[in-house]
Chains A and B, each alone.
Chain A
Amino acid sequence: MHADPIGVLTGSHFMDGDHAACEGAIAAGARFSAGYPITPSTEIVERFSHRAPKIGATFIQMEDELAASIAILGAVWGGVKAFTVTSGPGFSLMMEHIGYAAMTETPCVFIDVQRGGPSTGLPTLPAQGDMMQVRWGSHGDYEIIALCPNSPQECFDLTIQAFNLSEMYRVPVFVMMDEVVGHMTEKVVIPHATEIEVEPRHFTSKDKSAFQLFAPQGEEQTPEMAMAGDGYKVHVTGLTHDERGYPSMTPETQDRMVRRLVTKIRDNASKICLTEEHDLEDADVVVISYGITSRVAQRAVEMSRAEGIKVGSLRLITAWPFPEHIIRALAPKVKGLIVAELNLGQMVREVERCAGGKCRVVHVGHAGGTVHQPEDILKAIEEVVR
């Protein structure tokens, strides 16, 4: 399905990542957002509040992130695509409803423009400190999808991808931006609506008596969707439920249903994972990065290639599900994997886990506040190959 042209600002723009993310959401078909102001994400919903009344969408500023994160879920069950935006402290408040969205298989998008943490931290400065939180922040077992744009253009493109994935897998999907990507201004090309692929909601056409709101279908192991007001008399609960959606609090149902929340993503990880790879085949060392850090890593890789080092680069466009298969294949063939990220060690743990001791894994990072210097990453590269 193609994007609805009403929402698509076709053309060449000079805009920052926050604004581009908003346009991506609109192009993807989002027609509802509930938000709460928090730096450095606020511009996304400020722009949406401008655009919404002209494109048949609704924006409401709620009283806190707890309200915002569940208002969007109500809107989804009312039949629309919806999203919210936040940063660290708000993200922490949203965790319960992220779990509720995962448990009820409510398709939705959360944009986290990461800033220095923990707590109030550095409201106006970048970090990549929420990467583990996005995966594990809510209680219980579930899996999510998280995408990491590294440019305003990608803020546009990957937000569309986020909505598409959320509809395919009936799962909350996260766009993990950071303050620099959010506030940097670059060229953003918005194509014609006919060139934008949009995944429609997989509404069921089954008979009212036959349809089960939580019965998995196909390889995606994902149920078809319904909405309130269509006569299906849906029942949606956060309690462990069976295929009908009725509470069924037994160990058997728990395992069957919760396990599927995990496997529907894990079993399809190779289809979902997006990476950008360069020169991995004969690399002695590979630099792994994501988001804004990948821009710096790119420079460091260029500098080390100029020194004759056989360095490859792997950019995580999808941080979650983590591309385990790539790391497992790579680790035995290289001297080391360098993970550059704006935190004190988050995605590096996944790399270590999957490398399984087959090579060195080196973390290059700090707690946030500014982006890496290329020299920091270069030094690590040189040290590994020595």
Chain B
Amino acid sequence: MARGSVSIVIERCKACGFCVEFCPSKVLSLSSAFNSKGYHPPHAVNPDKCSGCDLCGMYCPDFAIHGFRTDKAAAAAAEAEAETEATDAR
């Protein structure tokens, strides 16, 4: 099970290839799809290898991708949901 995942803002991507090249786990590859500007955004071809290190996020010149730890994200989401429930109950 992957420890991490990536979130891609497809329309911002300019297909520079930094994230693909410098991902330490070779998770990404440029896809054959393209955004409205004609660039091929990346997609996760090895999602299971993603550690959520966010190096892709640091490299991206276009703020089009970032990585996150799924366990932390789940915990944060659970916490947020619990808070919402508590507020609704009041």
Direct contact between A and B judged by beta carbons closer than 8 A = no
Q: Which residues on A are within 8 Å of B, measured CB to CB? A: none
Q: Which residues on B are within 8 Å of A, measured CB to CB? A: none
